[in-house]
Amino acid sequence: MPCEHGHGFPLLEFGESLGQDRRYKIVRKLGWGMNSSTWLVYDQQSQTYLALKALTGHCTQCVQKGLSWELKALTRVSSPPHKHCLQLKDSFTIPGKGSAGSHLCLVTSLLAGDLKSVWGPRLPLPLAKRILLHTLRGLAHAHRSGVVHTDLKPDNIFIGNVMLTGDIDSLLQANSSRRHEAEASYDGIVQAAVSQPLPGPSLEDGMSRTYVLADFGSAQPIDQHLTDLITAESLRPPEIWLGGPWNEKVDIWTFGCLVFELVVGTRLFVPEPKTVENVALDATESVLYQMMCFTQEDFTAENLQVSSRAGQWFNLTCNLKKGPRLLNYEYADIIDRYKVASRTDAESMGTLLKRCLRLDPSERPSAEDLLSDAWFSG
């Protein structure tokens, strides 16, 4: 399909050289997503391996029209660089083949896969703490740089690469780059490259790795919003559900949800229709109800008055119109049910969740403040 229809993936060849002075040699495909594909490249100037993210033609158009802020966000968080944020090394645009359109290419540090693809949803407590602390450091750096990530999730937290150039050379010799069988496409017959990510570490080795906040494709400036529809639904903060004003504190709510998800292995908030004592709630009412039960807070009149969609679900007394009976859930008790931490750790983790998950964004701490939370000690 052409880029005008939201597709336009790059057709890159193994051995092809891109960039100024044909500096970056395409070695293999590491992976792909809805808006881009990522490739292992050999930097013939520094004689090291890096990653190259090639945006689809459609997404490249969005960057050119000012509808996507990824390049500017990466530029900000890379100046100065921070070891817990993805580092941009170079960028350039290449002409596409067929109807794909042109492609913005982002050359970045090389990483070893994301949490979701390497390990899955639930992690040992010490490893989860290490990952979350490193992520929080990256988030604090992004916020200091004026960047809101808006899409914090396991898919976008990556494992630092420890393979040296010689190690990667050996890997490539033992497991050569491959292509799928030929198939028909909008522009004729193509052979897509097989995704072959670098090997991820074992859970035991994970305690010696560095973790990196990556994929700034949905990032936005703190003071200027390109869209208000942000964050995966189960991690989405209340102000986004309600259509209220927002800032970098959306990342703090999402971080709190991630703490629970990585330790317990399941979502804290489930935005699905729910019936509470014969009161039928739609998906949005349900998640707002869950938020009130878990935080044991009420939405204030000040918050609801500045939220464009609040009137759909709340009355003038700041209660849900359908009046479901609110329950009080204690985080430590919920964590205890899953047998993933001692009672002391569950209580300490519950305290951290209470700090992050405040209905009023102004009551949430900054990422910098959270770095000294007692849950991370030791």
Q: What span, in angstroms and rounded, lies between the C-alpha atoms of 370 and 143?
A: 13
156-186 in b/e burial notation, b at 16+ Cβ within 10 A? Answer: bbbbbbeeeeeebeebbeeeebeeeeeeebe
Residue 134 structure tokens: 């490193």
Query: Helix (H, G, I), strand (E, B), or coil: what is residue 186?
Result: coil
**Amino acid in the structure at residue 194:** V
53 is in an annotated binding site: yes
Distance CA 148, CA 221 (A): 6
Distance of CA 199 to the CA centre of its chain: 20
* Helix (H), strand (E) at residue 301: helix 301-305
Binning the chain into helix, strand and coil, the percentages to the nearest 5 are 35, 20, 45
| CA 11 to chain CA centroid, nearest Å | 26
Q: Rounded to whole angstroms, what are the CA distances from 75 to 14, 223, 350?
A: 28, 17, 36
Residue ranges at the known binding site: 53
Residue ranges at the known binding site for ATP: 53
